[in-house]
């Protein structure tokens, strides 16, 4: 039976007798050879349909794993693997070379169990269906996410008795609110196959919840005495042009919010890029500034992520590492599936914000939010 959705000390909504030794989801225990984590960890692939799998990497909290919350982490894209989040952001280990890792003393694993998921299918070590198809909308990706998470929670309920949180960065601002809202709606409707634990909160890190709204910040960023003034300040002519375009950009943004019409939201986004963002884009094109960290130049166009961050790909393409991870037949790992990214980007639905989902989670489900935004992240 699904209990009322409310914050409380008990997060298990349905009981499960499945133990850690259950092998419904085949797992491979990891050690310092793949991730010097200072805690227990395992990897696996959850089959969803013919050929389609989702790869995960789970690390226990460094203290009292079954008495700590669990945080599921998603990188963005769309089409970005979540393993750079493990090795380069919040995970328990970090790369020191293309062959070695060291303990990350600042990892969120100090306080929580961490579950890194490569999704949608076809991203990272996750595989598409046998016919080569993979999800191309949030709705399709959400169904797979729900199927994966339900199986994982049913197999390992002991990790979810003290809170469950979903976190994401960048395009995670679309993934996390949509996936969470879908989970909660099924729980509140009493669906018999609903996720058996509550989502206590979500974390949005530099998250793209509403692309049109984020473009409206450029006047404040580059035309006022804010935190970026010492790095980049537009001249009066550019600032006047941005100011003149702001009323129409705000009107189109409100229309998008009110209608959730993909075509109208696309029009709002295009107007913002053509009249607000284009001035900063000129700086990126000239390799002067990275959209992800204004303090840096753009050494690796067009996405400007520093080259050393791609060492995750070199590391995970080592056949010995893949064998230890249980990948099976050698699988080329790329941090971003650009084919998937392109297919998603050509669909008008990608322009839809997730503000309605955020409002639902705040007002109806009472899910807690933590929002993290970097002062120097321009594009989210």
Average pLDDT, integer, range 344-352:
89
In this model, does residue 372 exceed pLDDT 70? Answer: yes
pLDDT of residue 309: 52
Q: Is residue 308 assigned to a domain?
A: no
2 pLDDT tier (thresholds 50, 70, 90)? very low
pLDDT of residue 195: 94
In this model, does residue 290 exceed pLDDT 80? Answer: yes
The number of distinct structural domains making up the chain is 1
Q: Which residue has the tokens 């989702």?
A: 54
pLDDT one-digit tens code per residue, 147-178: 999 999 999 999 999 999 999 999 999 999 99
> Quick one: what percent of the chain has pLDDT higher than 70?
92
Q: pTM of the predicted model, to two decimals?
A: 0.90
In this model, does residue 6 exceed pLDDT 60? Answer: no
Which pairs with CB-CB distance under 8 Å and at least 24 residues apart come from 40-48? 40/65, 41/92, 43/325, 43/326, 44/326, 45/125, 45/126, 45/127, 45/326, 46/147, 46/148, 46/151, 46/152, 48/121, 48/144, 48/147, 48/148
Chain centroid to CA 218: how far? 24
In this model, does residue 227 exceed pLDDT 60? Answer: yes
pLDDT one-digit tens code per residue, 56-98: 999 999 999 999 999 999 999 899 999 999 999 999 999 998 8
pLDDT of residue 10: 35
Q: Is residue 322 assigned to a domain?
A: no
pLDDT one-digit tens code per residue, 121-140: 999 999 999 888 889 999 99
Return the CA Rg of the chain.
21
pLDDT one-digit tens code per residue, 14-64: 443 333 444 489 999 999 999 999 999 999 999 998 889 999 999 999 999
C-alpha to C-alpha distances, 232 to 170, 228, 288, 294, 375, nearest whole angstrom:
22, 6, 10, 8, 13
Q: Is residue 157 assigned to a domain?
A: yes
Average pLDDT, integer, range 271-294:
93
Q: Is residue 172 assigned to a domain?
A: yes
Q: Is residue 226 assigned to a domain?
A: no
- Determine the structural domain holding residue 201 and report its residue range: 27-210+355-372
CATH code at position 36: 3.40.50.1820
In this model, does residue 369 exceed pLDDT 90? Answer: yes
In this model, does residue 306 exceed pLDDT 80? Answer: no
pLDDT of residue 304: 79
Average pLDDT, the chain: 90
Q: What is the full DSSP assignment across 218-278?
A: HHHHHHSSSTTTTT----HHHHHHHHHHHHHHHHHHHHHHHH--HHHHHHHHHHHIIIIIH
Q: Is residue 277 assigned to a domain?
A: no
Q: Is residue 5 assigned to a domain?
A: no
In this model, does residue 11 exceed pLDDT 70? Answer: no
Q: Is residue 267 assigned to a domain?
A: no
208 pLDDT tier (thresholds 50, 70, 90)? very high
Q: Do the beta carbons of residue 159 and residue 70 sit within 8 Å?
A: yes
């Amino acid at each position: 039976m699904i209990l009322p959705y409310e914050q409380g000390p008990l997060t298990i909504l349905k009981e499960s007798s499945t133990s850690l030794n259950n092998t419904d989801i085949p797992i491979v225990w990891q050690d310092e050879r793949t991730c010097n984590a200072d805690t227990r960890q395992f990897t696996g692939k959850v089959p969803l349909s013919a050929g389609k799998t989702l790869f995960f990497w789970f690390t226990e909290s460094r203290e009292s794993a079954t008495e700590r919350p669990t945080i599921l982490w998603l990188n963005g894209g769309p089409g970005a693997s979540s393993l750079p989040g493990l090795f380069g952001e919040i995970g328990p280990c970090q790369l020191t070379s293309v062959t070695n890792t060291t303990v990350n003393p600042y990892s969120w694993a100090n306080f929580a169990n961490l579950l890194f998921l490569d999704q949608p299918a076809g991203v990272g070590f996750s595989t598409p269906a046998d016919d080569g198809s993979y999800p191309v909308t949030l709705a399709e990706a959400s169904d797979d996410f729900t199927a994966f998470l339900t199986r994982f929670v049913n197999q390992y309920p002991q990790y979810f008795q003290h809170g469950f949180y979903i976190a994401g960065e960048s395009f995670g601002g679309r993934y996390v609110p949509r996936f969470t809202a879908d989970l909660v709606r099924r729980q509140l409707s009493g669906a018999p196959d609903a996720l058996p634990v509550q989502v206590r909160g979500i974390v949005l890190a530099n998250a793209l919840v509403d692309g049109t709204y984020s473009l409206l910040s450029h006047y404040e960023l580059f035309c006022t005495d804010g935190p970026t003034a010492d790095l980049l300040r537009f001249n009066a002519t550019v600032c006047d042009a941005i100011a003149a375009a702001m009323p129409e950009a705000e009107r189109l943004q409100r229309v998008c919010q009110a209608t959730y019409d993909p075509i109208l939201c696309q029009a709002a986004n295009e107007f913002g890029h053509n009249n607000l963002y284009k001035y900063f884009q000129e700086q990126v094109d000239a390799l002067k500034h990275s959209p992800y960290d204004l303090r840096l130049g753009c050494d690796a166009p067009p996405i400007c992520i520093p080259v050393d961050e791609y060492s995750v790909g070199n590391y995970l393409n080592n056949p010995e590492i893949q064998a230890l991870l249980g990948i099976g037949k050698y699988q080329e790992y790329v941090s971003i599936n650009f084919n998937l990214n392109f297919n998603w980007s050509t669909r008008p639905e990608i322009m839809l914000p997730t503000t309605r989902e955020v409002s639902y989670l705040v007002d109806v489900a009472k899910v807690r939010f933590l929002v993290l935004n970097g002062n120097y992240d321009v594009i989210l």
